[in-house]
Amino acid sequence: MRPRLCVFRSLKHIYAQIVNDADQKSLLTVSSTSKDVRDRVGDASGKTAVSTVVGQVLAEKAKEAGIEEVIFDRGGFLYHGRVKAVAEGAREAGLKF
């Protein structure tokens, strides 16, 4: 069973985590408030640009943890805008779904 990449979007921030449903545990989590993301984004404007970086950082951490493939869970949000940016960022960094 593949782990699940969950996305949550609030008005200001975006959160993404990889969850193992069999063990009911969160394996990785990255958000727009994470230090890794803030360092990489710098002064980039726009929540969509930050969301892309969130996806890239999550995919890099997943690769380090040995996770190659996930199932994408958009959490009821439309596959549009920031949710789509997280997915595209994760795909660019090599995560498969």
Whether the pTM exceeds 0.85: the reply is yes
Provide the CATH topology of domain 4-92.
Nucleotidyltransferase; domain 5 (3.30.420)
Please report, for the chain, the start and end positions of each structural domain, with discontinuous segments joined by +: 4-92
- What pLDDT shows up at residue 6? 97
Q: For the segment 43-89, what is each residue's pLDDT rounded down to a tens digit?
A: 767 999 999 999 999 999 999 999 999 999 999 999 999 999 999 99
Q: Determine the 3-state secondary structure of 35 from DSSP.
A: helix
Q: Do the beta carbons of residue 58 and residue 85 sit within 8 Å?
A: no
- What pLDDT shows up at residue 9? 97
